[in-house]
A and B are shown apart, each in its own frame.
Chain A
Amino acid sequence: MKYAFTAKGESWDSEIDPRLGRTEFILIYDDKKNELSAYSNSEITQQAHGAGPLTVQKIIDLNPDILITGNGPGKNAAEVMSTSEIKIITGAGDMKIKEALEAYKSDKITG
C-alpha cells in the first residue's frame, strides 16, 4: 500500500499540512518497501490561483492508494482528484505523520 501525506516537513515527526493545495511537502510512504520519501511542493505554494489542481496533479503522478491530509480538497482540486482512484482521508490536521498513519490504521480518521 502506498500512502501520501500533505506535510510541513520531510520526516515521520513532521506535522500534517492541513492545506492540501498549498502544502509545503508531499510525503509518500510505501509499506512494502518500508520507505518514506519527500517531495517539495514549494513552487506551487507561490501560485496565486489554481494551486489545488496542480498539487493534486502532482499527487496523482506519485500514484498513491491513499491520501491523508487535513482539510480536504477544494472544488477544483476535488474535480481533479475524482479522475483517480485515490482514497482521501481528512481530519489529520494537527497530527504528526506517524500519528496520522496510526490514526488511519485504527479507523480514528476516515474520508
Chain B
Amino acid sequence: MKIAIASGKGGTGKTTLATSLSSHLSETQDVVLVDLDVEEPNSRLFIRGDQTHSQSICKQVPEWTGDCSLCGQCQEICNFNAVIKVGTQIMLFPELCHSCRACSELCPESALPLKPRKIGMLNQIQAGNLIFVESRLEIGEQQAVPLISQTKDYIDNHFDESYIIIYDSPPGTSCPVIEASKDADFVILVTEPTPFGLYDLKLAVEVMRKMKKDFGVVVNRDGLGNNDVLDYCDMETIPVLARISNDRRIAELYAAGELIFSTIPEFKEQLLLLERSLELSTVVDPV
C-alpha cells in the first residue's frame, strides 16, 4: 500500500501528519516514510534514529568530447536548450538537461557520450520499527522530478508490498507533486479551513481528478477559519478523513520535535480515524 500525503501549498501540516501517521502505524506494522520534498526535505528533523544507508543519485547527461563536425544537430534536437553551439565549441548546461538522450544518439560523430552526474543524496534511517528515506537535491540543481523518480525506484527495489509506504510529497500542484503521487494507491490532501486553504485545495483536487486518483482530505487546524472547506468537500463528495483541531500544543510539540499522538489524545483519535478509513489499522483500538 502506497499513500501520498500532499497539499496545495507548504505549511499546511503535511509533514506533521506524515511523520505522526508513519510513527503511529510503525508501532504495529512495517512502515517506510519517504520524504519526496527533495528541494526542502524536513521530515528528518522529527525522526530519531541511525543512518543505515546513504548513496548518491545520478542522472545521465551528455559530455562533449570535442571531436565534432559542428553540424549543430544537437542544438536543434534539444527541447530544453541544454546544448548549444557557440563559435567552434559545443556547450552543455547539465542542470537544464532532461536526459532524453536525443542529442547523444543523433550526433553523427558520437561526440556526446552520456556520463553520470550527481543530482542528489539519498539517506536511509532506522527509527525503531520505522524506516525513513529522504533525498536531497544538490544545490544549484533545478529539476526535482528525476530525483523523486529515482527515489521511488529505490523504494520499489527495496521494499515489497508487505510494507506500508508513505510519501511526504512536495507542496504545490506542478510536476514534482504529480511525480510523487502518480503511483500512490491513495492520496491524502492536507488543507487548512481558510480561503487560501480552499483555493489551493481546489487546485489540488483538480490535479488528483485528472490523474484519476483515489483521494481524501484531512483538515488541519480545524476551527481556525470557516466551514467553506467542509462544505466544498461535502458538495464534491470528497471524503473528509480526519479533522485535526487548531491546538497550540500541537505546534509546540511539533516545534520541539516530539511525537504528538503520545501526548494529545484528541490528535491520536483523529489518526486512528484516518487509519480506519484507509483500512490500515490491524487492531481494533480500545478508544
Contact = CB atoms under 8 A, between A and B. Distances in A.
A47 B86 CA distance: 18
A80 B84 CA distance: 9
B286 interface: no
Interface stretch (B6-14, B88-96, B214-222, B225-233): B88-96
Describe A's contact surface by its main secondary structure.
helix
A53 interface: yes
A50 B93 contact: yes
A50 B84 CA distance: 10
B81 interface: yes
B82 interface: yes
Contacts of B93: 50, 53, 76
Contacts of A45: none
A60 B84 contact: no
Contacts of A84: 86-87
Contacts of B96: 49-50, 76
Of the four ranges (under 10, 10 to 19, 20 to 34, 35 or more), the interface on chain A belongs to: 10 to 19
Interface residues of B, number: 12
A78 B164 CA distance: 48
| Residue in B87, B93, B96, B142 with the greatest tally of chain A CB atoms within 10 Å | B93
Interface in B87-141: 87, 89, 91, 93, 96
B4 to A, nearest CB: 26
A83 interface: yes
Nearest to B89: A83
A60 B91 CA distance: 14
Interface in A40-91: 47, 49-51, 53-54, 56-57, 60, 76, 79-80, 83-84
Given A49-B142, A79-B91, A84-B87, 18 more contacts: A49-B96, A50-B80, A50-B81, A50-B82, A50-B93, A51-B81, A53-B84, A53-B91, A54-B81, A60-B86, A60-B87, A76-B96, A80-B86, A80-B91, A83-B86, A83-B87, A83-B89, A83-B91
Interface of B: 80-82, 84-87, 89, 91, 93, 96, 142
Q: Which are the 7 A-B pairs with shortest beta-carbon distances? A: A50-B81, A50-B96, A83-B86, A76-B93, A49-B96, A80-B86, A53-B84
22 contacts: A47-B81, A49-B80, A49-B81, A49-B142, A50-B82, A50-B93, A50-B96, A51-B81, A53-B84, A53-B86, A53-B93, A54-B81, A54-B84, A56-B86, A57-B84, A57-B85, A57-B86, A60-B86, A60-B87, A79-B91, A80-B84, A80-B86
